[in-house]
Amino acid sequence: MRKCLVVSGQWSVVRNSWLKSKFLFLLFTVHCSLSTVLYGCASAKKTELPAIQIEAIDFNQRGVLAVEAGKYNKALVEFQIALQLNTSVDNQKGIAVNLLNLGRLYLLMERFDDAQTTFDRVVNIGVGLNDQFILSEGYASLGRYYYLTGGNNNKDAIDSMERAAAIDRKEGYHTIGNRLNIMGMAYKADNKPEEAEKVFNDALKLNKGYDMEADIADSLRGLGDIWIEKGDYKKAGELYENALAIDKKLGLSAKISIDLSNLGILSLRENDTKNALDFFLRAYAVGSSRGNDRRKLKLLDKIIDIYTALGDKNSAEAYSLEKEKLIKLVPAGFKQGKERIKEP
């Protein structure tokens, strides 16, 4: 009987501790579930911005996505609505962001004059707000505009990019490599390959440090351009291949087309016409789905030249017809072989 009682007592102790553990476990489970639900409920509406600003942000975001999808007209409407909404509540920073996007879209649409006016407004707003982010982006965009318009504007491009890079350096913005890439291209366009190479190397280092993949590809491509001019085709090829690998990984169609085109040019320099043709055809195929018509025309010219040189008249004629169709879509300046040069 005594033994029984002792065993029973020990059993009850064990059972009590088991029940206690079970209870604690249940309590913990309930706590976790409640915490999850309450956290969810509490975080359901964490945005504190006014409704109009949220709407403007949505339109702006949709515009950026439309640009990435190559739907420029749709993007234009989205940005204009976002701008209208931000203007209606005098959200200056929002207005600047919308203007930046509009200006960059104008650059893509080759509406250069509109782009410049827009970027000037952005810089004015940035100065008014003393907002370093807006100023950096504004100067960089202006720099890009000057670089694209070419000619004497390359110096302005370099100045603007230096301003943007100085702000980025001071504020620790990760976009500094992007500014240096454009600056490098402006140096190259201004026949200063040594400065360009130095800037591209700096950009590559910074972009790798900040893990800015798209900008790393740009730096590699820029360096590839320098090395191809130096005659080191092997090194240029490696750089272009690396840039292509990154752009493919990121799915950037326009840049993939450029990388393939660069590899085609490299093959031509190496007198490998068939390989060059293959690269140009691939670049054209990528560019046909997404890309700018100006670049497509350049590619078509190269393809037609190669087919003519190879004596393939049918293919040359087929691509000439393609070119004729496309030429109607490209601004008149290009057809006449004029370069857009803006006097300083």
Partner 1 sequence: MTTAKAGQKDPRFKNLEKKVGVFVSIVIVMLLSIFFFMGKERGMFIKKYHLFFIVDSGMGFIEGMPVKLSGFKIGKVKSMSLTSEARVKVALEISKEYQKWIRHGSVARMMKEGVIGETVVDVTVSPASAMIIEDWKELPYEKVMGIEELIVKEVKPVLQEVKETIGYINNPEGDIKKAIANIKKLSEGLLETKTNLNGILKDAKNTVSEATSAFREADSAFGKVGNIGEKAAPVIDKLNTVAEDAEKASKKIPEVMDKAIKIMDDVKGFSDVLSKKSHGVKNMLEDTEEMLGDTKEIIKGAKDTWPINIMLPPREEFKLVPLAGVEK
Number of helices and strands in the chain (H, E): 16, 0
Number of other residues whose CB lies within 10 A of the CB of residue 297: 19
Taking the least distance from each CB to partner 1, the nearer of 12 and 17 is 12
The CB-of-323 to partner 1 minimum distance in angstroms stands at: 20
Distances (CA, A) of 120 to 29, 82, 130, 137: 59, 19, 15, 11
Taking the least distance from each CB to partner 1, the nearer of 59 and 307 is 59
Residue 92: CB partners within 8 Å, gap ≥ 6?
125, 128, 129
Residue 134: CB partners within 8 Å, gap ≥ 6?
93, 96, 97, 100, 122, 125, 126
The CB-of-181 to partner 1 minimum distance in angstroms stands at: 4
Taking the least distance from each CB to partner 1, the nearer of 215 and 267 is 215
* N residues, the chain: 344
Residue 98: CB partners within 8 Å, gap ≥ 6?
56, 60, 79, 82, 83, 86
Taking the least distance from each CB to partner 1, the nearer of 119 and 319 is 119
The number of angstroms, rounded, from the C-alpha of 305 to the middle of its chain's C-alpha atoms is 32
| Burial bucket for residue 337 (CB in 10 Å: 0-12, 13-18, 19+) | exposed
Return the sign of the alpha-carbon dihedral for residues 209, 213, 217, 219. negative
State residue 90 phi and psi, 5-degree precision.
Answer: 50, 45
The CB-of-313 to partner 1 minimum distance in angstroms stands at: 32
The CB-of-116 to partner 1 minimum distance in angstroms stands at: 15
Taking the least distance from each CB to partner 1, the nearer of 182 and 316 is 182
Taking the least distance from each CB to partner 1, the nearer of 196 and 277 is 196
Taking the least distance from each CB to partner 1, the nearer of 136 and 267 is 136
The CB-of-25 to partner 1 minimum distance in angstroms stands at: 18
The CB-of-276 to partner 1 minimum distance in angstroms stands at: 19
The CB-of-309 to partner 1 minimum distance in angstroms stands at: 26
The CB-of-188 to partner 1 minimum distance in angstroms stands at: 10
Whether 299 and 261 have beta carbons less than 8 Å apart is answered as yes
Site of interaction with partner 1 (CB under 8 A): 2-3, 5-6, 8-9, 12, 40-41, 43-45, 47, 49, 54, 57-58, 60-61, 63-64, 67, 93-94, 97, 100-101, 104-105, 108, 133, 137, 140-141, 144, 147-148, 150, 178, 181-182, 185, 189, 214-215, 218-219, 221-222, 254-255, 258, 295
DSSP one-letter code for 174: T
Residue 314: CB partners within 8 Å, gap ≥ 6?
none
Residue 93: CB partners within 8 Å, gap ≥ 6?
125, 129, 131, 134
> What six digits make up the tokens of 123?
């810089």
Residue 74: CB partners within 8 Å, gap ≥ 6?
63, 66
The CB-of-61 to partner 1 minimum distance in angstroms stands at: 5
Taking the least distance from each CB to partner 1, the nearer of 254 and 330 is 254
Taking the least distance from each CB to partner 1, the nearer of 8 and 73 is 8
